[in-house]
């Protein structure tokens, strides 16, 4: 006697969202929303930013919260660059602490630093004039007197935390323009 082979039943997919599923989805959406905004977006970098900017972590968090306001970001002389100067109080040897936001493909022309410069990339990436690529979580430190330039890589903006002690552009046009604009 031959037995008929039963066909496996096709599972029924239900597109009804149960209340507990809805609550879980909304909680996940709120969590993702909370960590995409500042300051939590850069929470993994709090300690490193405090060290870079020679400031207490609480002040770093406070400044990152302030950076949420687009009005606090300044346009730059250079196309594709916006800057956010931090208010860290008396700094002594600290120099200038800020965030830089570069548009995709932006270029920062050749310049020389009066003192050392340290750059911690928070998002995106760039390549310096020597071809070194620096991406999220990487720190690049250049000694005083060094000259370099950079270009933003990829389709996303590059956000970088910077500590520097003054710079001057080495090209004649930008050197003249920066002196004119202070």
**pTM exceeds 0.85, yes or no:** no
Provide the pLDDT for residue 89: 64
The answer, yes or no, to whether residue 96 has pLDDT greater than 80, is yes
Q: How confident is the model at residue 58 (pLDDT cuts 50, 70, 90)?
A: very high
Residues 6+ apart with CB under 8 A from 58: none
CB-count exposure of residue 130 (10 Å: 0-12, 13-18, 19+)? exposed
pLDDT averaged over every residue in the chain? 82
What average pLDDT does range 129-145 have in this prediction?
A: 94
Are 159 and 103 within 8 A, CB to CB?
no
Sign of CA dihedral 136, 80, 153, 131: negative
Q: How confident is the model at residue 55 (pLDDT cuts 50, 70, 90)?
A: very high
Higher pLDDT, 88 or 159: 159
What average pLDDT does range 113-129 have in this prediction?
A: 94
Higher pLDDT, 119 or 112: 119
Higher pLDDT, 17 or 91: 17
Provide the pLDDT for residue 57: 95
Q: Report the CATH number of the 73-181 domain.
A: 2.60.120.10
Provide the pLDDT for residue 85: 94
Between helix 46-53 and helix 57-66 the angle, nearest 10°, is 100
Provide the pLDDT for residue 23: 64
Query: Domain extents for the chain?
Result: 73-181
């Amino acid at each position: 006697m031959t037995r008929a082979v039963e066909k496996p039943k096709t599972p029924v997919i239900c597109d009804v969202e149960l209340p507990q599923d809805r609550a879980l989805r909304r909680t996940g959406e709120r969590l993702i929303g909370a960590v995409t905004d500042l300051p939590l977006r850069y929470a993994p970098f709090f300690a490193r930013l405090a060290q870079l900017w020679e400031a207490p972590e609480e002040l770093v968090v406070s400044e990152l919260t302030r950076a949420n306001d687009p009005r606090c970001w300044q346009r730059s002389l250079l196309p594709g660059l916006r800057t956010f100067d931090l208010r860290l109080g008396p700094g002594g040897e600290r120099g200038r602490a800020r965030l830089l936001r570069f548009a995709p493909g932006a270029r920062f022309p050749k310049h020389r630093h009066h003192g050392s410069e340290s750059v911690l990339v928070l998002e995106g990436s760039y390549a310096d004039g020597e071809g070194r690529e620096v991406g999220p979580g990487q720190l690049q430190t250049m000694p005083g007197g060094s000259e370099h330039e950079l270009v933003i890589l990829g389709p996303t903006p590059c956000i970088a935390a910077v500590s520097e002690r003054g710079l001057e552009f080495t090209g004649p046009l930008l050197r003249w323009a920066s002196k004119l604009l202070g």
